[in-house]
């Protein structure tokens, strides 16, 4: 395997408030290879979207990247000047937001927005950019793109608007696309189409995709690997089939246990007690320990580091080489 398209190493993001410093991301590390889809999943407040915003350089004051490194094809980008980062954003890193209506300007046709983006990041002429825009609309499944290119966003359905946003993200053939909840505002049938489209474009363009979502069904259908986040940290990361079928971390087990079975089993779904802790009240030790059915004394005082189980890292004391497993049932 060659150099990853994206490498995130020990990323830390903080928000400075009157009540002190809140750690939104606390030591997150992962990588995404060319043509790979990494799913990032967790409850609201886990830090998924903040991680994506940090990668693309959209953390605004009072937020700040307080530590770690973000590398795009081996070059560090988290410490670049704003103007240089602005040139990378849109050209080398594309973004797909949750609500396509907030991503598209209602006063301009989709063609005008596509052409402007293409001309900003490439050397194409106006006519060349328009042809490229029509080709992109066709590629993402917009019917009659030669005619629809002159339509306004409100003339498209929600699913078609999201396809336009995907076309915008692909304008400059980026190396990385960050898709932040791209299917949440869509109905189930349209979700399936968008999922298929993302997978297809990632394979054909060799684009690395970071897919942020709370929907494990979307992850199972789309991702190659999945990172489970909790309270600003990665609890578990590994191949999607392994994490979905044999999750290791108790939090990941709870998430998978809450998914209804398609086999008609009458068993009750698993429920994780409690809720995600506030940033101002992250518990000591393992942040999941107040909700964990397997927590023991060490979990309440010492923060677990990632331990490799094959190619499947998990941050849990249950898998630590230190012989403390017996305490889990004490």
Q: Are 40 and 227 in contact (CB under 8 A)?
A: yes
User: Is the Cβ–Cβ distance between 311 and 224 less than 8 Å?
Assistant: no
If one counts every other C-beta atom within 10 angstroms of the C-beta of residue 120, the result is 13
Cα 54 from Cα 89, distance rounded (Å)? 12
Q: List CB contacts of 276: < 8 A, sequence separation 6 or more.
A: 43, 44, 45, 46, 230, 231
Task: Write the DSSP string, 86-104.
Answer: HHHBTTTEEEE-S-HHHHS
Could you state, in chain order, the average pLDDT of each consecutive group of 10 residues for the chain (330 residues)?
Answer: 90 93 95 95 92 93 94 95 90 86 90 93 92 93 94 92 90 91 77 82 88 85 93 95 92 86 68 90 95 94 90 90 52
CA nearest neighbour of 163 among 137, 189, 186, 188: 137
| SS3 state of residue 167 | helix
Short-list 60, 73, 13, 43, CA closest to 213: 43
- For the entire predicted model, the pTM comes to 0.89
Evaluate whether 195 touches 110 at the Cβ level (below 8 Å).
no
Return the CA Rg of the chain. Answer: 21
Measured CA to CA, the distance from residue 61 to residue 80 in angstroms comes to 16
Say if residues 68 and 10 touch (Cβ distance below 8 Å): yes
CB 166 within 8 A of CB 201: yes
**What is the model's pLDDT at position 265?**
61
Residue 170: per-residue pLDDT: 87
76, 6 contact by CB (below 8 A): no
| Tokens representing residue 84 in the block | 């240089």
- The secondary structure of residue 234, as a DSSP letter, is E
The C-alpha atoms of residue 279 and residue 189 are separated, in whole angstroms, by 36
Q: Are 227 and 220 spatial neighbours (Cβ–Cβ below 8 Å)?
A: no
Q: Pairing state of beta strands 176-180 and 93-96?
A: parallel
Residues 6+ apart with CB under 8 A from 195: 183, 218, 221, 222
Q: Is 157 exposed, middle or buried (0-12, 13-18, 19+ CB in 10 A)?
A: exposed
The count of other CB atoms within 10 Å of the CB of residue 215 is 18
């Amino acid at each position: 395997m060659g150099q990853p398209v994206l490498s995130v190493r020990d990323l830390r993001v903080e928000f400075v408030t009157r009540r002190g410093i809140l750690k939104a991301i606390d030591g997150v590390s992962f990588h995404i290879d060319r043509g790979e889809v990494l799913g990032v999943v967790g409850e609201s407040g886990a830090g998924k979207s903040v991680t994506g915003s940090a990668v693309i350089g959209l953390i605004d004051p009072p937020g700040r990247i307080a530590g770690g490194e973000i590398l795009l094809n081996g070059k560090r980008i988290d410490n670049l000047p704003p103007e240089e980062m602005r040139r990378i954003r849109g050209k080398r890193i594309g973004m797909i937001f949750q609500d396509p209506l907030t991503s598209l300007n209602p006063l301009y046709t989709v063609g005008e927005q596509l052409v402007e983006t293409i001309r900003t990041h490439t050397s194409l002429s106006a006519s060349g950019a328009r042809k490229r825009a029509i080709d992109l609309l066709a590629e993402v499944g917009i019917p009659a793109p030669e005619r629809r290119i002159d339509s306004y966003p409100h003339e498209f359905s929600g699913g078609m608007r999201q396809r336009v946003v995907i076309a915008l993200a692909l304008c400059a053939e980026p190396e990385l696309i960050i898709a932040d909840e791209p299917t949440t505002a869509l109905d189930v049938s349209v979700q399936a189409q968008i999922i298929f489209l993302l997978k297809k474009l990632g394979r054909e363009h060799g684009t690395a995709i970071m897919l942020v979502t709370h929907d494990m069904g979307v992850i199972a259908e789309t991702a190659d690997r999945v990172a489970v986040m909790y309270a600003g940290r990665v609890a578990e990361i590994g191949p999607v089939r392994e994490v979905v079928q044999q999750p290791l971390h108790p939090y990941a087990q709870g998430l998978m246990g809450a998914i209804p079975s398609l086999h008609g089993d009458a068993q009750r779904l698993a429920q994780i007690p409690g809720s995600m802790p506030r940033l101002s009240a992250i518990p000591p030790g393992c942040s999941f320990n107040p909700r964990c059915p397997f927590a023991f004394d060490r979990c309440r005082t010492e923060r677990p580091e990632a331990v490799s189980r094959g190619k499947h890292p998990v941050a849990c004391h249950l898998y630590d080489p230190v012989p403390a497993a017996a305490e889990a049932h004490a």
